[in-house]
Amino acid sequence: MRGKRKKHRGPGRGVDQPYVERTTYDPHLKAAILEVVENLIRDDGPSETRQTLERPLAAGYARQQAIEMIGSALVEEIWALLHDHKLFDRARFAALLEQLG
């Protein structure tokens, strides 16, 4: 059965498709990312993560919002690791965190 292609299953947003605010997401993946953020804060690694949490909290964001903001930076770093085949770069991750509120 050479040449048989796997069918695309279900709707989804491909990398080359524009972001639409109502785009669905995988709640399990989101929960996993947020759990990693919580672990980074709890374990103080890297320390910039805990420091970053304090800035949005001081600016009036709810804790959950601040955790999600940090999660977005984490996703960008994971993207660099997987898509661009880069190694974890603490300075790059810290720069992403610095850009947050």
pLDDT of residue 24: 78
In the chain (101 residues long), the average pLDDT of successive 10-residue segments reads 46 46 81 96 91 94 95 94 92 94 66
Q: Is residue 68 assigned to a domain?
A: yes
Domain-located, residue 21 = no
Q: Is residue 40 part of a domain?
A: yes
pLDDT of the residue at 66: 95
Q: HEC states along the chain?
A: CCCCCCCCCCCCCCCCCCCCCCCCCCHHHHHHHHHHHHHHHHHCCCHHHHHHHHHHHHCCCCHHHHHHHHHHHHHHHHHHHHHCCCCCCHHHHHHHHHCCC
**Which residues have C-beta within 8 Å of that of residue 22, sequence separation ≥ 6?**
none
1 part of a folded domain: no
pLDDT at 25: 82
Question: Is residue 17 domain-resident?
Answer: no
Q: In angstroms, rounded to a whole number, what is the distance separating the alpha carbons of residues 99 and 90?
A: 14
pLDDT at position 19 is: 46
In this prediction, residue 72 carries a pLDDT of 95
pLDDT of residue 101: 66
Question: Given this model, what pLDDT does residue 44 score?
Answer: 86
Quote the domain boundaries for residue 63: 27-98
Peptide bond into 18 cis (omega under 30): no
Tokens 């953020």 — which residue? 37
